[in-house]
């Protein structure tokens, strides 16, 4: 039985007392990254709206009310109604679900697939790496919106096809960033030791290399979320994304941005504000996360 001296016990207690609590870490994050904290607050509000949309508002987001078309903001309809009499606030709250669904799924799928492909490209090297990088160059040669439009035009509209259309451009960008970090990890001796022990390529890639590139992976994941939400809104605005009657911020802009710009400007103002805040929040939070996880920036 191992016994500890009084000095060792006191040292243990001091070590535990010195360990920062969750509240202290949150305070340090808010103090050192005020813009990142503001972005995180916007993201949390957006998630809260998406999860508790049924309790936040009692209006139906898809039911038409022709008796209250184009009603200006008042006590009943705090953000007004659209050309079909639907409550704008309700549509924005439920539209957060669509934005987060498309944003999270497409950004996570694109970043994760890019993570695996980028690590595999760095690990195998040679002709595989050369061919893979040329394919990624071709994909990255197209702007995000152009490539997404091409995919949607091929697959058709709908939530699932929009997710696929946004995922594909993110794969190339994630793979390129991850590969640059994985090239340095490939030269570390423990990778050679894993090969010498007879581990399979799959195990080395997934268990020994991928965990060591999680910092750039998380950074590009958070950075892609804002872009994914903006792309979904753009595709829906063009009529190639989410279709009625699903609540979507892009569809709200499409329905009232031009025709009712003078008579009912709130139809376009509020979804535009929602899109701007969401993208702004994710970008601020992504920048703060980069500053925390990047050792070069953390050392300054």
Write the pLDDT tens digit of every residue in 5-20: 655 555 555 554 555 6
Residue 168 belongs to a domain:
yes
Residue 246 has pLDDT above 90, yes or no: no
Residue 299 belongs to a domain:
no
Residue 212 belongs to a domain:
yes
- Indicate the average pLDDT of the chain: 85
Most confident of 157-161, 170-174, 203-207: 170-174
Residue 103 belongs to a domain:
yes
* Domain count within the chain: 1
Residue 195 has pLDDT above 90, yes or no: no
Q: Dig out the tokens for 220 from the structure.
A: 């590009």
| Average pLDDT score over residue span 141-164 | 88
**Amino acid 194: pLDDT:** 83
Higher pLDDT, 256 or 80: 80
| Average pLDDT score over residue span 158-170 | 90
**Amino acid 1: pLDDT:** 45
SS3 at position 87: strand
**Amino acid 19: pLDDT:** 59
Range of the domain at 86: 80-278
Residue 240 has pLDDT above 80, yes or no: yes
Higher pLDDT, 170 or 291: 170
Residue 215 has pLDDT above 60, yes or no: yes
Residue 62 belongs to a domain:
no
How big is the CA angle at 110 (ends 121 and 227), to the nearest 5 degrees?
130
Tens of pLDDT, residue by residue over 15-39, are 545 556 777 877 887 888 888 889 9
Query: CA 266 to CA 273: how far, in whole Å?
Result: 10
Residue 155 belongs to a domain:
yes
Tens of pLDDT, residue by residue over 43-67, are 999 999 999 999 999 899 988 888 8
| Average pLDDT score over residue span 213-220 | 86
Per DSSP, 242 falls in state: S
Query: CA 244 to CA 93: how far, in whole Å?
Result: 16
Residue 300 belongs to a domain:
no
CATH at 169? 1.10.3720.10
H or E element in which residue 49 lies? helix 34-51
Residue 139 has pLDDT above 60, yes or no: yes
The residues, any chain, with a CB within 8 Å of residue 142's CB and separated by 6 or more, are 150, 169
**Amino acid 208: pLDDT:** 84
**For the chain, percent of residues with pLDDT exceeding 90:** 28
SS3 at position 81: strand
**Amino acid 296: pLDDT:** 52
Tens of pLDDT, residue by residue over 81-93, are 888 889 999 999 9
Residue 277 has pLDDT above 90, yes or no: yes
Q: CA gyration radius for the chain?
A: 24
Residue 12 belongs to a domain:
no
């Amino acid at each position: 039985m191992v016994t500890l001296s009084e000095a060792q016990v006191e040292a243990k207690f001091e070590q535990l007392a010195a360990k920062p609590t969750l509240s202290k870490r949150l305070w340090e994050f808010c103090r050192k990254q005020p813009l990142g904290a503001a972005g995180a607050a916007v993201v949390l509000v957006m998630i809260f709206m998406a999860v508790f949309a049924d309790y936040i508002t009692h209006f139906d987001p898809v039911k038409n009310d022709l008796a209250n078309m184009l009603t200006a903001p008042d006590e009943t309809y705090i953000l007004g109604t659209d050309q079909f009499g639907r409550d704008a606030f309700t549509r924005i709250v439920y539209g957060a679900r669509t934005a987060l669904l498309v944003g999270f799924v497409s950004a996570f799928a694109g970043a994760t697939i890019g993570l695996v492909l980028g690590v595999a490209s760095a690990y195998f090297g040679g002709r595989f790496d050369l061919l893979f990088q040329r394919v990624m160059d071709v994909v990255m040669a197209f702007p995000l919106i152009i490539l997404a439009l091409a995919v949607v035009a091929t697959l058709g509209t709908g939530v699932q096809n929009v997710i696929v259309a946004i995922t594909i451009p993110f794969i190339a960008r994630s793979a390129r960033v991850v590969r640059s970090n994985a090239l340095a990890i490939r030269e570390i001796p423990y990778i050679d030791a894993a090969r010498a022990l007879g581990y399979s390529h799959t195990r080395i890639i997934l268990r020994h290399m991928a965990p060591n590139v999680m910092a750039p992976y998380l950074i590009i994941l958070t950075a892609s979320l804002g872009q994914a939400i903006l792309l979904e809104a753009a595709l829906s605005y063009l009529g190639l994304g989410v279709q009625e009657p699903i609540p979507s911020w892009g569809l709200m802009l499409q329905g009232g941005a031009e025709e009712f710009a003078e008579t009912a400007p709130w139809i376009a103002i509020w979804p535009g504000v929602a899109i701007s805040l969401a993208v702004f929040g994710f970008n601020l939070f992504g920048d703060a996360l980069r500053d925390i996880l990047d050792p070069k920036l953390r050392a300054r």
